[in-house]
Structures are given as C-alpha cells and as structure tokens.
A and B are shown apart, each in its own frame.
Chain A
Amino acid sequence: MNDGAKIRNLVGWLAILSIVPIIGAFIAAVAALDFDFDALQDTTYTLATLGDRTTLFWWGWLLTAISFSMWVPLVMYLCR
C-alpha cells in the first residue's frame, strides 16, 4: 500500500469513527442533566442541576470538541 492509499484509509477511518465521540458527548451531557433535553438549553437550570456531575457534563462538551477535531483531516484531504 502506497503512502497516498494509507493517508486516504486513515482519513476514511477518522471520518467514520468521528461519530463515536459525538454519541458519547450527547450521552454524557444529557445524562449529567438527568436526561432532560430542555435543560441543555436552560443555562439557569444547568448549573443548579449539575451538582457533582459537572465533570461528566464537561466530558460531554470535550468529546464534542474531539469529534469536531476529527473532521480536520477530512476537510484538508477533500480540499487538497
């Protein structure tokens, strides 16, 4: 396998696997708020509800950022 094919395969797998952290992020962020979807939008309610689950909530946002980051090679590969 040449370098071009290796890079293409890596980018392909990154694109597919990028859905894993976004699913994890969604579960973490919503689980931290007792699966109350509306609470995600209610900033007043969020801090009062989180309590000792702030770390879990933080992981939710961090995983979203990781998922976004995994798209960078895809964007650069398709635009090259």
Chain B
Amino acid sequence: MAFLEIRDLTKQFGGLVANNNITFDVLEGEIIGVIGPNGAGKTTLFNCITGVYRPNRGSILFKGEKISGLRPYEICKYGIARTFQLIQVFSDMTCLENVVVGTFLKAKHLDQAKERALRFLQRLNLLEKKDILAGNLTLADRKKLEVARALATEPELLLLDEVAGGLNTSEVLEFIEVVRGINRSGITIILIEHVMEAVMNIAGRIVVLDGGKKITEGSPQQVASDPQVIEAYLGEGYRA
C-alpha cells in the first residue's frame, strides 16, 4: 500500500478531458514532482486530490482510505494541505492571523493557535513580518505565507502548486531549501512545477503529464532524456 494511490483518475469538463486515466503512487517521505506543459492537467490533478473537483472516474486512496469524492475541508482533516497556483492569502488579515486560521484546525484556543503560528512563520522566515497585512507582501512572501498557512494544519502530505513560478533566482533557491527542510521534518511533498529546472533539483521522482495523460514517470535523469518529454516540451522538431 502506497502513501497516496491515484488509480485511473479521470476528470472531464464537458468535452475536455483534463485528466485521462492517470495512475501513480506517492511514497511516504518522498518529494515527487508533477511536470508538464501548460494545460497538461497538473492543477486539475491537484484539485482532484484535494477535493475541489470530484473525479468522473477512478479513485484516490490516502494511507489506504478512499478520499476521492470527499469535500476539501474533510480531506484537509485527513492530513493533506495545499498551496494555490494563484495566490489565495487572506489579504486583509495580518501574516500571523493568516497562519492562525491554519493552526486553529488543531489548536484549542487563540493563545495556543498564535503560539504555534509564530513557529510556522519563523520556519518560513516571515517572523518579522507577522503584523503586516498579507495583501501588502511581495509575491515571494505571499507564497511563503501560503506554505506557512498550509503547514499550520499539520499535514502529512503537502501539495505545492507552482511555488517557484514568478520568483527570481535567489528566491527560487531559498524556496528549494525551504521545501527540503519541510520534507526533512517528515512531510511528503508533491510539487507541481512548470519550470523543469526547479523541480529537477529537489524531486526524487517525477511524473510527466501532457494533454491530460501521464506520459512517463521516473527519476529526473530518466525523465529529462525521455524523447516523449522532450517532444511534449519542445515539439517534435527538437527530437534528437
């Protein structure tokens, strides 16, 4: 039994098949990357795992229990948290308050929720910005805040949707360290990345989607040299 099992997952929007018979496993403790060109179905896959969408066919099992079809807030309670591709912080709340919303899932009262929230802010190097409104943060800080908020629900599995997108090189490098640190603390991570280089660095395994289908999976080296992947990213003319 794998940590997370995705079996024949299919999600259709009218005539468009956004996820077509996708099957793969996520192992406990790993960092797995999901890559693919625009429109490959990466975010739809995340939305199916986190319950935003109900799959048309197939199933998702987390630690052996079927979670597909559950509501997002129920799935969160199973220990699966996420960030969003388009930032979804609570703009009119301070950084601390944003994270407190997360820690309140497990904390009993406000003092405890705040105390735990401060720890997550510290982990993401946001401690000195705790009283700043989330809407006034830079893009990089808002992305970090989303990660802190997701971690605040104390998940076992964390889904990161394009955390490196829109960041400059030094910010990407900082994020890679952050993601590694989270993983070292025992949290399994699924990473969606549009930019291949970012994910090649940290993911132990990579699943490649194109046109809603899984075209391959394997180590970063295997995937990078796979002719199907090169074709998906660069077009047929670039095949060696």
A binds B: no
Residues on A lying within 8 angstroms of B by beta carbon are none
Residues on B lying within 8 angstroms of A by beta carbon are none
